[in-house]
Structure 1
Amino acid sequence: MSGLNDFRAERRADQQAVRAEDRADRREEREQKRMDAEAARQRRQADQRAAEQARERRRAARAARFGRVTGWVTANPARAFVRLVQACSIVPAVVSQVTALDHANVMLLLAVLLAAMLEGGAWALVAMGAQAEGERSTHTYRLGAWAAGAVAAGINFAHGWTQYPHHHWVAFVLALSSVGAVWLTDLQTHGGRGPTTAEKKTAKERAEHARRRAEHHPKVRAVADRLLSAAAYGALSPDEAWRIAWEYVHGVTVPGLTAELLAQRLNARARVAELSALPAPADLWPGMPDDPFPTLTLPLPSGPSDGVYLDTVPDALRNASPITTEALEALYGNGSGVPVPKPEEPREEPPAEDGGNASAPAGERPLDPADLARVRVLAADLAADGEELSTRKVRTLLGCRNETAVRLRAAVEAERNRPGKENAQ
C-alpha cells in the first residue's frame, strides 16, 4: 500500500508541476501579448504624431505661401491691382480682336497670332521700357507701347461698334481693354520717380543760395570756379572750394567775415570807449552838485590783442566754420584796414619835472614826454580854432591804444586846467 501511495503522490506532484508550467506559459503568453499590444499602440501613436506633424507642415507651408502673397499685396497694393487689371484686360482684348479678325474672314489661327502680336507687342515694349528705366531714355519704348495699344484699341472699337449697334458704349469698353492696362502700367513704371516736394524746395533754395553767393561775392566765386576747374572732377566739393577761395580773398576761413567788417567793429568799439571818457551832463548826476565835471565809469575795452577779434565774430558764423585766434591775429597783421597799434618800447621813467608822468598810477607805463608834447600842440591848435581836445583826435594823431590816448588827453587837460599855470599854446 505504501508503494501505491507513493506512486499517487508522485503523480499528483507531476500533475501540479505540469499545471504550474502551463500557468507560467499562459502568463508569459499574456505578458507577451500585452507587450505586443503596447508596442502596436505606441506605433499607432507615433504614426498619428508623424501624420499630424506632416499635416502641420503642409498647413504651415500653405500659410507661408498665402502670407507671402498677402504680404506682397499689402506691401505693394498698387502693383497688385495693376497686375489684376492686366489679367482682366488682356483676355477680353485678345478675344475681341480674334473675333473681329474672324468676322473679317481671317483664318482662326492667323487671327489668334495677329491678336497675340498686337497685345504681346504692346506689353513687350512696356516691359522693355521698365527695364530701361534709370539707365537710358524710355521715350522710344513708351511711344511704341502706346502705338501698339492704340492699334489694338482701334480694332476692338471698330468691332464693338459694328457688333453691338444698339450699345455703342461697349465699343469704348473694348477699346479701353487694350489701352487701360498699358496706361496704368506706364504710370506705375515711369511715374513717381521724380523729385519730391521737399526735394524740389531744397533744390530751389540751393539754387537761390548759389545765385546770391555769385551776386554778392563775385571775386570769391571766380576763385572758387578756378579751383574747381583745376582740381580733378569730384576731388574738390563746391563748399570746400568756396571755403578755400574765401580764405584766399579775405584772409580768414569764416564765411562772411572780411577785413572791412572787422575794422567797422573795432572803430565802433573805439567810439564807444571815447564817449565813455567824456564828462557827463549835470542832469545825469542829481545829488552831486559839488562835482562839476563827473565822468562816466563805463568799462573801457581792451586792445585788439586780448581777443577782440573773437568777440567780433557772431556765434552763428563761428559755428559755421572753424576759427582760431591765430587766424584772426594773422588777419589783423596783414593789412586788414584796422589801425595797428605801434609796439611800445620800454622807456625810462621821465624826469620829475614833467608833471604828466609824476602822477602815473602804479603798474601803468609812464606817458611819453614826446607824446605829451605833441598832444599839447594839438590841444593848443584846437583851442585856437574853438574846438575841444578829444580822445579820438589824440588816437588819430599818435596811432596809439585807446587807453593811452585817454591818459594823454586827461594829462593835458589837467595841465591846461591847473590853477596858476598858463595853458600850453
Structure 2
Amino acid sequence: MSAGLALLSRVWTELGGDPRILGELASGAGEVPLPSRVATGDLAWASVGLATLAAGRHPSAMDPARIAMAYRSERVLTIDGTAPPVWAALSGFWRTADGWIRTHGNYPHHATGLRAGLRLGSTADADDVRDALAGRTSAEAIESISAAGGLAVAVSDEDPAADARLRQTALLDIRPIGTADPRRDVLSGSSSYPLTGIRVLDLTRVIAGPVCTRTLALLGADVLRVDPPGLPEPEWQHLDTGHGKRSTLLDARSARFEDLLAGADVVVLGYRPAALARLGLDPPSLARRHPGLIVAQLSAWGMDHPQRAGFDSLVQAESGIALIESPDGDRPGALPAQALDHSAGYLLAAAVTMLLRRRAHEGGSWWVQTSLRRVAAELLGMPRRAEPDDEVALDPAPHVARFPVGDTELVTARPALPGFEFAAPHPWGADQPRW
C-alpha cells in the first residue's frame, strides 16, 4: 500500500467514513508531481482525496497534475496579466553567526517588527537585514525579533521523538463540545453541491484556513469571510483563495458579529488560539452560546502553544523539513509547495463535511482541530527518497480558470477536487456582514 493510500485509509476510518469505499482504492495513489525528499506528493494526494471522498466523489477521478497545480497555485496566478510578488523581501532564510534562521515578513506589521528587533530603520532592506544577522547567534536574533513583534525561528534538525509523540495524537482531533438536537433540515444539498444550505463563517487568513473554506464554498456552502477592519490582506492572497466566498470587514466584538454567529452552521478559525479566547471565540465558548455549531480550528503550532503565531515556511524550518530538503547539505531548502498549509485546509474541509452529516443524524456541537506542526509530523513519518525526483514540466492551460473580479482580470488554478468548478472571488471586504 502506498503512503498516500495508507494515510487516506486511516484518516477516512477515523472520520467515520464507509470502509467499503476503501476496497475500491486498491490501485493506490496517483503520483502527484511535487518532487521532494519527503513524501509531499503522497500527503497532497491523501489530503485532497479525503476532501473528495467526503464530498461524495471517488479519488480515482483525481488528476495528479491538477493537484500539483492547485498546491502551487501562486505560480499560475495573474492579476490583469501580471504575476504578483508572493514573497516579501524580508521573508526567507538568513545565515547567523552559528546557523540559520527563517523569517516571515509578508505582512507589514511583521516586517516592522523584524526591523525593530534588529534595530534597523523603517527603510532597511534585505542587505541590511543580512548584515545585522551575520553577527548575531540564532537565539539572540530570534529573541530580539520576537520581542519586537516579528516572526523568526531557528532552522533546526528534525526531532524524531517529538514527531512520534505528535503522531500519537489524531491528525484531525474531533471532540464533542455540547449537546444540540439533530439538524436534518439544514443539510439539504444535492450530489452536485452537497453543502447547499450550509452557512460558514470564515475567520481565517493566509492559505490553510482559506483553502478549507474555499473548498466548503466549492461544495455549495454559503461562506462569509470576516476580517477585522484595519488589518488588510494582500490582494493576491485573497484572490488566490477567495473563490466562491463573500468577504466583509467587521469587528468581532460587535453585536452584528454575534448575529452572524447565531446564523452559522460552521465557524472556521485560523487566528492564534489565545487571541481568539480573549474575544470569546474559543470553541467551547462558541458552543455554549450557539448550540449545534461545528467549529474547525487551524493553528500553526498546536493548542499547546496558544500564544504563538506561525506560517507554513516557519514550521518547515523549525520541524527539520528545511534541512532535509537542503539542496547542498548547507543551505536550507523548502518543499515544492506550501504543502502543510494546503493539506491542512483540505483535511479540515473533509472533517467539516463529515461532521455536518454526523450532526444531521446525532446532533451535538463539534470541534475539529489540526495544526501545521501536526501535519509536518505526519509528513516526517512517511517514507522518503534519497533525492527528489526530477521536476515535471506541466502545461498550465488545462488547469487554470479566468474570472472577472470587479475591474480585474484574474487567472487562478482550478479546483483539485474532481467534478467541481470555482465561482469567482469577491473583492476583499466588498460585501455586507449578513447572511
TM-score by length of 1: 0.16
Q: Which has the higher strand share?
A: 2
Q: Name the larger-Rg structure.
A: 1
TM-score by length of 2: 0.15
Q: Which has the higher helix share?
A: 1
